Amino acid sequence: MLGGLDYAVVIAYLIGIMLLGFYFKRYVHSSEDYFLAGKSLPFWAIGMSIVVSDIGAQDFVGVSGQAYRFGIAVGNFDWIGSVPAMLLGAFIFIPYFWKAGVYTIPEYLGKRYNDYVRTLASLTWIIFFAFNLGVVFWASAKLLNTLMGWPFWQSIIITASVVGIYT
């Protein structure tokens, strides 16, 4: 269980994240601002954004547990699977999206093929991310339950609320 200072750090972090969200919200006036930061970021910031977008609670809880159970080689998944995919995306696919003026993969597929393909791709992503979000909330609840002793349902509601507020 955590002590008073630990709780203070966690609460300060959560408040800080929400304040950053509110601060940068004033710079978002369009979907281009939201998805592409107004096309104003340098390449290294975009690269860092891609990497951290690939990291979630499931990595900290799931990969750590799997590494404990099966060995540190489990961590190679990110190097063998994710890094090459990110490099392919950055140097092969992203330039096509940039030239086409699209923000999302379904939008690109809609321009390349038709609205049916765009809708099918969108629905597929929505279903995938609905399940993925469930895993992320469960992993967050597992972490908060272990560290703070909070019940799972309470941890999920708190996590969803904090993420909803700063998003």
CA distance linking residue 137 with residue 61, whole number of Å: 11
Establish if 119 belongs to a structural domain: no
For the entire predicted model, the pTM comes to 0.66
Q: Is residue 115 part of a domain?
A: no
Domain assignment present for 80? yes
**Exposed e or buried b for every residue in 89-107, given b needs 16+ CB within 10 A?**
eeeeeeeebeeeebeeebb
pLDDT tens for each residue of 71-101:
888 877 777 777 888 888 888 888 888 888 8
Report pLDDT for 50.
76
Number of domains in the chain: 1
96 within domain boundaries: yes
Q: Indicate whether 126 belongs to any domain.
A: no
Handedness of CA 108, 113, 114, 120 (dihedral sign): negative
What distance in Å separates the CA atoms of residue 47 and residue 36, rounded to the nearest whole number? 12
The domain of 56 spans 41-101
Flag whether 57 is in a domain. Answer: yes
Residue 129 inside a domain? The answer is: no
Structural domain includes residue 133: no
